[in-house]
Homo-oligomer: A and B are copies of this chain.
Amino acid sequence: MLKVRVLSFNSIDMKKLIVLLGLFGMSLAAWAQTLTSPNGKLVMDFHLAEGNVPVYSLTYKGKEVIKESRMGFLIRPSYEFDKNFRIIETKEDVSDTTWNPVWGQNCVVRDYHKELFVALQQENTGWQFNIRFRLFDDGLGFRYEFPVQKELRHFTLNEEVTEFCLSGNHKAFWIPADYDTNEFQITTSKLAEVPQLIDEARNEALACKSPSPNLAVQTPLMLKSDDGLYINIHEAALVNYPAMHLNLDAKTFRMSAHLTPDKNGVKGFIQTGSHTPWRTVVVSDDARDILASNLIANLNEPCKLEDTSWIKPVKYVGVWWEYFIGGGSTWAYTDTQDIVIGETDYSKLKANGHHGANTAHVKEYIDFADEHGFDAVLVEGWNEGWEDNYAYAKEYIYSFTKAYPDFDVAELQRYAAEKGVKIIMHHETTSSVVDYERQMHDAFRFMNRYGYDAVKTGYVGPIIPRSEHHDGQWMVNHYNRVAETAAKYKIMVNSHEAVRPTGLCRTYPNWIAQESARGTEFESFNGIRPDHQTILPFTRLMGGPMDYTPGIFEGDLSVYGNNKAKLGTTLVKQLALYVTMYSPLQMAADLYQNYEKHLDAFQFIKDVAVDWDNTYILEAEPGDYITIARKAKGKNEWFVGGITDENAREACIDFSFLPKGKKYQAIVYADGKKAHWKTNPKDYVISTRKVSSKTILKQRLAPSGGVAISIREI
């Protein structure tokens, strides 16, 4: 007997359905559940297909976004938990609320969605899972929930079978699926071309790679259909579950979940009474809606921290870029590599004479931060262990509480406090995560004692425990644990080389930024393509802010020595990134000496806000260009950033985001006439003009160039 417990139905469709069920004595299972977005543009269908297989589909203005796609799981060792279901309950709900992020692109976020909850029971086993769908005006989210049940408590996953069956051979902005890194160049191609391009895409020397054995790409995946739909697939609220990659069938365009395994092949350890992350599909026929979407944040849990007063957006400089440019500065204090943490007495070792994190040099940066109004100075290489930092097998690799002899923690605390500047702590773990977890509480207590309120964490190299990958369930739990634990110590976290974010910064707003993509450091290695920054906001940034570390003014690294790398942008594009690459944590990454040579351009970085009341996506096309305007939080100041790929273009900046009837002074930082990222990146022009809400500015951007504008009320 089918047991239908109908608890609440809010939509008319469902009421009709109930009536029909009553009239004909039919099972709910035979009926499709349909959910329509508040604005009516999106329609989601769920039903049990042949074999009582749960399937869903999604349309946007009648166009197929996701064709009929399967749902469920494969359980170890080889059980199919994706068929033979019956529906035992459905519920619909609608919710329209707003919330205020601690920091963000907007000070108010609306969460308006309809919800469909479906409880399923497998006929042969009696095992259950539920699916919860939420349909917003800009997309769909759904997750699986495993209720507490008598016959199923613990199980392990072979795979999640969730499919995203696409309607055609879309253009895709993708990086290859990899269990340990997300720092690849982004490839733009048709889906059908992925098989022939993926080997080249994988062919990069990264610190730790574990390519997926089959054809798969990472999320957030940005797609554009031939009929003009922009589709973004990702996930939200990744907690106690592995990160999802997407398998691709390059002939049928069926994509499907590919969970990150551990090294034993287990993809997830599940205890019932839990749920998966949300699978998200953001969709629109206007690319700007993708960037403006709050769907992923809305699917995350509200802030769990009672007191958030100590969380402050940060603009910072640091002892950092000097390690990448080939100028001789090192993280390591000595050239002796035979280091044993806890045994080696550094006071007896010979200093190498080019250790970056020395007290005097850090003071120079504190002075610079103080003079130019930066909040903080990041210092990498302050602690014992860096001599042996490429020893990827080494479990006891750093101390997080012992500074090098030439880094005077107490004196720097005093000096920085006197200047009102914070020092940002650095915890590179070289992925010896078990040992970081051992030291973590002591490390955070050390930070509290010496006045640090933010830490940059790092996970270079293969993970220890050696069964784990960067993107697997165990590491996902680790990153979340660090954020949660840090919050107890009132410490903000900026994690590098971690799994890509999924909006958890809403829940833990002290998790102020992540790297989790190819950032500026690659300008000093293999390079970054000119279209990179026009894609990142559509991919990596969908999950949360990135510590991209822009602001490189001296793009020709050969000036320092043997590094022949050249920056992939104009200088002005570097300025524009402070607006187009949203983050509450922004670095001015270059050597301070380079800023002193261009103080006029540097003024934009000094002025630009890092927290916002409102954001206006003015122009956007993934891979081509982005123009964004933002209003500074609590101030009558606006900033505009526009960037382009390798092609010059004319940005059309409509100032209608400004309040009407007032006049404003705009300082425009523009590429010079001869500017070109390759040949003449430093050609820039700064001009001042009056603007109003009626102004429309047509501004030429050089190849891989940009425009940056600061605006104040007159």
Task: Kindly identify which residue among B148, B393, B437, B466 contacts A467, using a CB–CB cutoff of 8 Å.
Answer: B466
Residues of B within 8 A of A263 (CB): 263-264, 466-467
| Minimum CB–CB distance for A576 against chain B, Å | 44
> Bound complex: CA of A437 vs CA of B478, how far in Å?
14
A680 beta carbon closer than 8 Å to chain B:
no
Tell me the residues in window 235-280 of chain A with beta carbons closer than 8 Å to chain B beta carbons.
262-264, 266, 269, 271-273
Task: Kindly identify which residue among B337, B340, B465 contacts A434, using a CB–CB cutoff of 8 Å.
Answer: B465
A391 beta carbon closer than 8 Å to chain B:
yes
A289 beta carbon closer than 8 Å to chain B:
no
A388 beta carbon closer than 8 Å to chain B:
yes
Residues of B within 8 A of A340 (CB): 271, 273
Taken residue by residue from 628 to 658, chain A's Cβ proximity to chain B (1 for < 8 Å, 0 otherwise) reads as 0000000000000000000000000000000
A338 and B264 in contact, given A154-B394, A269-B394, A391-B271 (Cβ under 8 angstroms): no
Residues of B within 8 A of A271 (CB): 338, 340, 391, 394
A153 beta carbon closer than 8 Å to chain B:
yes
Name the residue on B nearest A478 (C-beta): B434
Is A338 touching B437 in the complex (CB atoms < 8 A)?
Answer: no
A438 beta carbon closer than 8 Å to chain B:
yes
Residues of B within 8 A of A273 (CB): 338, 340
A304 beta carbon closer than 8 Å to chain B:
no
A515 beta carbon closer than 8 Å to chain B:
no
A414 beta carbon closer than 8 Å to chain B:
no
Taken residue by residue from 440 to 476, chain A's Cβ proximity to chain B (1 for < 8 Å, 0 otherwise) reads as 0100000000000000000000000111100000100
A395 beta carbon closer than 8 Å to chain B:
yes
Residues of B within 8 A of A266 (CB): 466
Tell me the residues in window 410-440 of chain A with beta carbons closer than 8 Å to chain B beta carbons.
434, 437-438
Is B269 touching A393 in the complex (CB atoms < 8 A)?
Answer: yes
Q: How many copies does the complex hold?
A: 2
Name the residue on B nearest A437 (C-beta): B438
A225 beta carbon closer than 8 Å to chain B:
no
Name the residue on B nearest A442 (C-beta): B441
> Bound complex: CA of A467 vs CA of B468, how far in Å?
8
A699 beta carbon closer than 8 Å to chain B:
no
| Minimum CB–CB distance for A368 against chain B, Å | 37
Is B269 touching A153 in the complex (CB atoms < 8 A)?
Answer: no
A466 and B264 in contact, given A273-B340, A338-B153, A394-B271 (Cβ under 8 angstroms): yes
Is A272 touching B338 in the complex (CB atoms < 8 A)?
Answer: yes
A466 and B262 in contact, given A156-B393, A388-B153, A437-B438 (Cβ under 8 angstroms): yes
Task: Kindly identify which residue among B153, B262, B394, B438 contacts A337, using a CB–CB cutoff of 8 Å.
Answer: B153
| Minimum CB–CB distance for A321 against chain B, Å | 29
Tell me the residues in window 330-382 of chain A with beta carbons closer than 8 Å to chain B beta carbons.
337-338, 340
Task: Kindly identify which residue among B338, B388, B438, B465 contacts A465, using a CB–CB cutoff of 8 Å.
Answer: B465
Tell me the residues in window 122-169 of chain A with beta carbons closer than 8 Å to chain B beta carbons.
148, 153-154, 156
Residues of B within 8 A of A434 (CB): 434, 437, 465
| Minimum CB–CB distance for A428 against chain B, Å | 18
Name the residue on B nearest A441 (C-beta): B441
> Bound complex: CA of A434 vs CA of B263, how far in Å?
17
Residues of B within 8 A of A394 (CB): 154, 269, 271
Residues of B within 8 A of A337 (CB): 153
Name the residue on B nearest A393 (C-beta): B269
| Minimum CB–CB distance for A61 against chain B, Å | 43
Name the residue on B nearest A336 (C-beta): B148
Task: Kindly identify which residue among B388, B391, B465, B477 contacts A468, using a CB–CB cutoff of 8 Å.
Answer: B465
> Bound complex: CA of A466 vs CA of B337, how far in Å?
30
> Bound complex: CA of A388 vs CA of B338, how far in Å?
45
Residues of B within 8 A of A391 (CB): 153-154, 271
Name the residue on B nearest A337 (C-beta): B153
Residues of B within 8 A of A437 (CB): 434, 437-438
Residues of B within 8 A of A388 (CB): 153-154
| Minimum CB–CB distance for A467 against chain B, Å | 3
5 contacts between A and B (CB under 8 A): A153-B338, A269-B395, A465-B465, A465-B474, A466-B467
